[in-house]
Structure 1
Amino acid sequence: MSNILRPPLPPFTKETAVAKVQAAEDAWNTRNPEQVALAYTEDSVWRNRSEFFSGRDKIREFLTRKWNTELDYRLKKELWSFTDNRISVKFEYEYHTDSGQWYRAYGNEQWEFAENGLMRRREASINDVPIPESERKFH
């Protein structure tokens, strides 16, 4: 295991789980693949919709591709539940494509953390709903 620590560390309490979720929301809203990828173990395993991959390099590639096509991305996460080293969240995010169509995505994620606070597993289920720009919640 890496000697890098990413607090809050497991085992989680309600307060530290909420803080971990807020830190993830804040990081993802930077839309910076390099920064966001550092929150995951080198061998982190992901399922995102129908994509399955592992490793920090693949995470960086995925996030770069994501934010190059999901423009003006804005995310809100909320703690759903937690245990010692696992957190579940529900989330919504909005983005538009280069054609100008806006979407709101709804989803759930299950996270598992290593002892150092880096995420070693992420599973995300996501549904996109086209919306008119006038119905955006997040600006």
Structure 2
Amino acid sequence: MNDRPPLPPFTEATARQKVQAAEDAWNSRDPERVALAYTEGSEWRNRSEFITGRPAIVAFLRRKWAKELDYRLRKELWAFTDDRIAVRFEYEWHDVSSQWWLSYGNENWEFDEHGLMRRRYASINDVPITEAERRFRWER
């Protein structure tokens, strides 16, 4: 098995690195790349959906990014312990009708000794916004 640094136990600096790596991967919108950060049997709760394993994660992310167009995410470290990290996040996206959304919430992560996430629990809220209310302006 390959390690995915930084590894637990986390310090503030390595927890911040882990959060930034997750933000970068999710902003790639590449389901296969994102899934490599999780254990083979990783358990997720995303809103009301329960997902187990990398193939299910990839399928979920494909569906997600087919719906959530021009997705852009920011994550912020909230707290950490030896093998757990809590983050707050927000992201913007639009649907096929060009309605923009701000989605925000919290995630709780638990890692194995190789630095792979074995559990991810996400609580997410969605708020419709106008184009003028967008906060994230990245080049496409």
If the TM-score is normalised by the length of the shorter chain, which range does it land in? Answer: over 0.9
Describe the SS at the equivalent of 1:66.
helix
Residue 53 (structure 1) shift = 1.5
For residue 108 of structure 2, the aligned residue among 103, 110, 122 is 110
Distance in 1 (CA, whole Å) between partners of 2:125 and 2:89 is: 11
Distance in 1 (CA, whole Å) between partners of 2:111 and 2:57 is: 16
Describe the SS at the equivalent of 2:122.
strand
Matched residue, 1:81 = 79
RMSD, matched Cα: 0.4
For residue 90 of structure 2, the aligned residue among 89, 92, 103 is 92
Q: Any unmatched runs of 5+ in structure 2?
A: none
Matched residue, 1:49 = 47
Counterpart residue type for residue 64 of structure 1: R
2:36 aligned with 1:38, yes or no?
yes
Distance in 2 (CA, whole Å) between partners of 1:57 and 1:4 is: 18
Residue 117 (structure 1) shift = 0.3
Distance in 1 (CA, whole Å) between partners of 2:51 and 2:76 is: 25
Q: TM-score scaled by structure 2?
A: 0.97
Q: TM-score scaled by structure 1?
A: 0.98
Counterpart residue type for residue 123 of structure 2: S
Describe the SS at the equivalent of 2:28.
coil
2:134 aligned with 1:136, yes or no?
yes
Matched residue, 2:65 = 67
Distance in 1 (CA, whole Å) between partners of 2:53 and 2:23 is: 21
Distance in 1 (CA, whole Å) between partners of 2:110 and 2:117 is: 6
Describe the SS at the equivalent of 1:6.
coil
Counterpart residue type for residue 57 of structure 2: I
Matched residue, 1:101 = 99
Distance in 2 (CA, whole Å) between partners of 1:33 and 1:137 is: 25
Distance in 2 (CA, whole Å) between partners of 1:75 and 1:83 is: 24
Matched residue, 2:121 = 123
List 4+ stretches of structure 1 deviating above 6 A: none
Residue 67 (structure 1) shift = 0.3
- Give the number of equivalent residue pairs: 137
Describe the SS at the equivalent of 2:96.
coil
Counterpart residue type for residue 37 of structure 1: A
